[in-house]
Amino acid sequence: MPGTSRERVFRVLHLEDSELDHELLVAHLARGGLNAQTRRIDSESAFLEALDEPWDAVVSDYNLPGFSGLVALELLKASMREIPFILVSGEIGDDTAVEAMRSGASDYLQKSHLARLVPALLHAVDAAETRRARVRADRDLVASKQRLHELAQHLQTSVEQERAAIAREIHDDVGGSLTALKFDLAWIARHSSSPQIVSRVQSALETVTHAVESSQRIMHNLRPAILEQGLAAALHWIALRFERRSGVECQIRLPKQPLELPPLVPLVAYRTAQEALTNISKHAQATRVQIDLSLAGGVLSLEISDNGCGVSQDDLAKARSFGIRGLHERAKTVGGWIDLSSGPHGTTLILSVPLDVPDSAYVPEPPDKSYDPSQWADV
Ligand SMILES: Nc1ncnc2c1ncn2[C@@H]1O[C@H](COP(=O)(O)OP(=O)(O)O)[C@@H](O)[C@H]1O
Ligand SMILES: [Mg+2]
């Protein structure tokens, strides 16, 4: 900063009733090598008016007729302008100096020690600029985090829409053709008298049946049709499948009453359970899993606990692991959040979604009704 002080013009607002003292200040600024533009004012109204202009610093006398340096400092603070304020007085006592610094003054000087004015001014201006830069950087960081969240949430939503579109294409194109092929093969089998042809057709039918099953499985992974029967049924189904595949005991507790959920919530809950169970089979070495779905105080909770080895902070920070990070973003798309707690006796992951405050959430485009997966189950 001192290096730039010669080229730069410093705009200094001087609150001072004595013209002589003002000239003394101007002389000290010049002697200190500061290229300063100053204006003297001595009333509250002139001070308030001048605050609309861009000043590098305010230097204020402590005692002014009908006005005071400390009042000026309060007015400056109330105006929310980040302008450094230096208090100057002939007879400033320790108590007043402490009070001024507490109230946010950048510095205070005795009129008899004005040699310190230029270094004090440069220091105060520098500190204010650093503060402003930090506030700007903090604001930019918050805005950038917000954009990143929105992007991540948008990606989650886009992925679901893309999956739904692929599932629909498999249903319409592949599913339709396979069904037609099945009918044709069955017709050939019925109308053929050659045992060789019939046996060949049977084998082709088995292949087609296998292809139908595969496309159903792929469609289900892309967009779980079971969700059309409700979240409870879908969780029940996923728990059963997990138990069968992994051999890990999986208990599930569901609400007795059927739940009325907003359109996007069941899929978010389903994907959360899916990722949690995949993690358990991949990482936890658990022998027991508990899934709880409940609604209390207007908040839907889905809790998945295991008695496995637990998750460490290092695990969660893995550069290439996006499962749990994705769950946080997914939860936010419906105004919810994820809590993960873990210890040596296992891990608990909880999705919470308040059901009555949809406005707080990032609202993705509504799903296209023509993607209704209920019609895909019967390829
Ligand atoms: N239930 C669990 N039990 C033990 N460790 C887990 C569990 N869930 C996640 N982890 C750990 O946390 C890490 C991050 O999980 P995740 O974000 O889903 O990414 P990924 O499964 O692709 O590694 C995993 O690699 C694993 O080390
Ligand atoms: Mg995972």
As to burial, measured by CB atoms within 10 angstroms (0-12 exposed, 13-18 middle, 19+ buried), residue 336 is: buried
137 falls in which pLDDT band (50, 70, 90)? very high
Distance from the alpha carbon of residue 313 to the mean position of ligand 2, in angstroms: 14
Residue 6 has pLDDT above 90, yes or no: no
CA distance 292 to 350: 9
Q: Report the share of the chain in percent with pLDDT over 70.
A: 92
So where are the chain's domains? 2-135, 225-379
Q: Which residues contact 10 (CB under 8 A, 6 or more apart)?
A: 29, 34, 35, 36, 37, 56, 57, 121, 125
Q: pLDDT tens digits, residue range 312-363?
A: 999 999 888 889 999 999 999 999 999 999 999 999 999 999 997 544 444 4
Ranking 97-111, 299-313, 362-376 by mean pLDDT, the lowest is: 362-376
200 falls in which pLDDT band (50, 70, 90)? very high
Tell me what pLDDT residue 187 has: 94
Q: Which residues contact 43 (CB under 8 A, 6 or more apart)?
A: 64, 66, 67
CA distance 116 to 25: 11
Distance from the alpha carbon of residue 135 to the mean position of ligand 2, in angstroms: 37
279 CB near ligand 1 (under 6 Å):
yes
- Please give the model's pTM, rounded to 2 decimal places: 0.67
Report residue 157 as tokens: 């939503």
Tell me what pLDDT residue 164 has: 87
Report residue 51 as tokens: 């605050």
Q: pLDDT tens digits, residue range 221-262?
A: 888 888 889 999 999 999 999 999 999 999 999 998 888 899
79 CB near ligand 1 (under 6 Å):
no
Tell me what pLDDT residue 357 has: 58
CATH number for the domain formed by residue range(s) 225-379:
3.30.565.10
315 CB near ligand 1 (under 6 Å):
yes
> What average pLDDT does range 148-170 have in this prediction?
89
Task: Look at the block and give the residue holding tokens 């609150």.
Answer: 15
At residue 272, what is the residue type? T
Distance from the alpha carbon of residue 273 to the mean position of ligand 2, in angstroms: 11
**Does the domain at residues 2-135 carry the CATH identifier 3.40.50.2300?**
yes
Q: What is the 3-state secondary structure (H, E, C) of 193-230?
A: CCHHHHHHHHHHHHHHHHHHHHHHHHHHHHCCHHHHHC
Q: Report the share of the chain in percent with pLDDT over 90.
A: 69
CA distance 305 to 316: 17
Q: pLDDT tens digits, residue range 70-128?
A: 999 999 999 988 899 999 987 767 788 888 888 889 998 888 888 899 999 999 999 99
Which residue is closest in CA terms to ligand 1's atom 24?
Answer: 315
